[in-house]
Amino acid sequence: MRVRIVVADQAEARFYDVEPPGTTLQVSGRLLDPSARLHERELVSDRPGRVFDRAPTAGERRGAVAHHDTGGERSARHEATVVFVRRIVEQLEQAYQHGRFERLVLMAEPRVLGMLRAALPARLEHCVLAEVHKDLVHQSDEVVRAHIPPQALR
């Protein structure tokens, strides 16, 4: 049973293969998203929209005015991460269709892990053997190996 291990964050994904009972990790691929390291101002040319709230007092035409920006939860950086997560899932789908793995271990920081889980199609959801809620992309292969759940190496 071949196991594919995905170690990802919002800008990089590394893919490893391991064939239990062996414990040697074989690097099988890497994806990079250079736009994930950019500032919001470098991804879009406009400022977020503005909203003006008015609360006139009784008997007067003018009242207190407050204004604030909108769209913080749907930033360009968030959208870039969503697109990158889709690229990761597409890579996994292709590898699965070519029979390169039967089981899957996902390792990512919690926000990206949630996005990966949401983007996985049903045929890959049943392959998920374990999930590790840690950002290990910038760690060595030995550190990644130490965080692989034992059931994935049997």
C-alpha span between 44 and 47 (Å, rounded): 8
pLDDT one-digit tens code per residue, 24-79:
889 999 999 887 666 555 555 555 555 656 556 666 666 555 655 565 556 778 88
CATH tag, 3-39+74-153: 3.30.420.60
Residue 80 burial (C-beta neighbours within 10 Å; 0-12, 13-18, 19+) = buried
CATH 3.30.420.60 residue ranges of the chain are: 3-39+74-153
Sheet bearing 103-108, strands edge to edge = 26-32, 12-18, 3-8, 103-108, 128-132
Query: How many other C-beta atoms are found inside a 10 Å radius of the C-beta of residue 112?
Result: 23
Q: Are 83 and 68 in contact (CB under 8 A)?
A: no
Tell whether pTM > 0.85: no
Look up residue 20 and give its two tokens.
Answer: 């239990």
Query: Among all chains, which residue has been given the structure tokens 């889709």?
Result: 86
